[in-house]
Amino acid sequence: LRVLLVEDNAIVAGAMRWMLMSFGHEVDLIADGQAAWDELSGRPGHYEVVFTDLNLPGISGVELVRRLRRTGYAGMVVVYSGYISDAHRTELTSLGVEHLLAKPVDRAQLLRVLG
């Protein structure tokens, strides 16, 4: 799968990217929500999975998901965070986010989610 990983913490990003790639996925990494939106809107349909943190510079993970869904993005969206409020959980579920994961995310969780 072609995965866009949106994560601003370099240590977390490196670990997540390595785990995703170890399953055979092609992974592009972007550390800023606005830059991720620019990439996704400039290349519609390129990524089959968007894997994003909630708390990002630029725009938040929630806003990124809102924009994706408004454009009709049909790929899988996975959101992860150290803390997901009930309000965020409700909104993200209503936006069709397939998986909400708590940090730290481990290999077994990623394997269940992405295979």
pLDDT at 105: 93
Q: Copy the structure tokens of residue 61.
A: 């993970």
Q: What is the DSSP string of the chain?
A: -EEEEE---HHHHHHHHHHHHHTT-EEEEES-HHHHHHHHHHSTT--SEEEEESS-SSS-HHHHHHHHHHTT--SEEEEEES---HHHHHHHHHTT-SEEEESSP-HHHHHHHH-
pLDDT at 33: 97
Q: Copy the structure tokens of residue 63.
A: 């806003």
Q: What does the pLDDT look like over 47-101, one tens digit per residue?
A: 999 999 999 999 999 999 999 999 999 899 999 999 999 999 999 999 999 999 9
Cα→Cα distances 35→21, 31, 39, Å: 21, 8, 6
pLDDT at 114: 87
Residues 25, 69, 35, 6, CA torsion sign: negative
pLDDT at 95: 94
